[in-house]
Amino acid sequence: MMAVILTCFGVVMVYSASSVMAAKKFHDGFYFLKRQSLFAVIGFCGMALAMHIDYHLWKKWAVPLFFACFFLLLLVFMPGIGGTVKGASRWIRLPGFNFQPSELAKVALIIYMAYSLEKRQEKLKQFLTGFLPYLLILGVFIAVLLMQHDMGAALTMGSVAIVMLFAAGTRLQYILGMGVVALPGVCYLVLTEAYRMRRITAFLDPWKDPTDAGFQIIQSWLALGTGGIFGQGLGEGKQKLFYLPEAHTDFILSVCGEEMGFLGVIVIASMFLLLVQRSIRVAIAAEDNFGRFLAFGIAVLIGLEAFINMAVVTGMLPTKGLALPFLSYGGSSLIISLCAIGILLNVSTRMRGTA
């Protein structure tokens, strides 16, 4: 129910955040509203379908789906098929729609991890035969995502996988050791890419470059500050009027804050917390380890994406280009997220103690 409410509210806010821009760019103020509504309908159908598919069937598709997603991640680099936006190659061009395979890859990774962890859980205490194989697989996926200039997806997928490994019984010292080894590489990736350095400097001091690198976060702060406690009213926000970049996508929470106020943002955050809490309850009560890992992975994915997006919008993290689940404009994110909720709902119908 939380996902449905957030999605419906998101459709309304996408229209509010994009209508003026859409009217100028596409001569149709309802352009993004119509597309997001269509994505929502497709997502709800996918959720209903996934809800009625026995989640155990995903075991049979775990490996093929995993490799299919890896192939799709590589396909974005193929001329004529892949699409590039602002220097990032993350999309596959389809008629009337750009598909972002990293969104599907996140769920495919969770399904594969749940399937594999159930089979190999007793080996996770060992480094060479337990932890290292997952680390190598994850490293390949992250490398491809970094080639796409999609550090947000790489961070999300890596974090979800590590949390799932820890929950399944991997030794904490392995994870901490991996973090220490990976830290120099992360620093190198940041220092050798000019756009990443600009994001870091804008995060540390946005007022140092208020018209370029720091512009987006400053406009986000202005939107949130202008909203006050109760907001300016639905549709009455001003920062979306060509001031706040990506107002209907990554920074839609800023528009929510300006129009619905601090209380509106608190309600949205509370709904995400409730959704994650209920998802974890489903994981705890799942009838087997596969269902347990599957539900837990989905809970971590949704919670982590929501947290990172909110942290970026409020200036607690550098910009990542990560959508707010269910609310931000985007077909790939919305449809895949709703399908993941459908899988979660199917796990919930087979919880221990249910008839």
Q: What is the spatial distance between Cα 98 and Cα 76, in angstroms, rounded to a whole number?
A: 11
- pLDDT by residue (tens digit) across 56-115? 999 999 999 999 999 999 998 888 787 776 666 788 888 888 899 999 999 999 999 999
What value does the mean pLDDT take over residues 138-161? 90
CA distance 170 to 127: 9
- Residue-wise pLDDT for 205-225, tens only, equals 899 888 888 999 999 999 999
Contacts of 299 (CB under 8 A, 6+ apart): 276, 279, 280, 282, 283, 344
The three-state secondary structure class of 335 is helix
Look up tokens 């490996």; give the residue: 63
Coil, strand or helix at 77: coil
Distance CA 325, CA 39 (A): 13
Whole-number Å distance between alpha carbons of 334 and 116: 27
The least confident of 38-47, 182-191, 306-315 is 182-191
**pLDDT reported for residue 49:** 97
The mean pLDDT of 291-310, rounded to a whole number, is 96
pLDDT of residue 87: 63
Q: What percentage of residues in the chain have a pLDDT greater than 90?
A: 70
* The predicted structure's pLDDT at residue 19: 94
Residue 187 has a pLDDT of 84
Residues in the chain: 355
pTM of the model: 0.93
> Whose CA is closest to 236, among 274, 264, 269?
264
Closest to 13 (Cα-Cα) out of 227, 320, 225, 222: 227
Tell me the backbone φ, ψ of residue 91, rounded to 5 degrees. Answer: -125, 150
Per-residue pLDDT averaged across 254-276, rounded? Answer: 97
User: What residues contact 200, with CB distance under 8 A and at least 6 apart?
Assistant: 190, 318
| C-alpha to C-alpha distance for 27 and 316, rounded to whole angstroms | 36
Residues 6+ apart with CB under 8 A from 246: 216
Residue 199 has pLDDT above 90, yes or no: no
Kindly indicate the confidence band of residue 52, based on its pLDDT and cuts at 50, 70 and 90.
very high
Tokens 């008839």 sit at which residue?
355
For residue 355, the model assigns a pLDDT of 41
Asked whether 323 and 331 are in contact (CB, 8 A), the reply is no
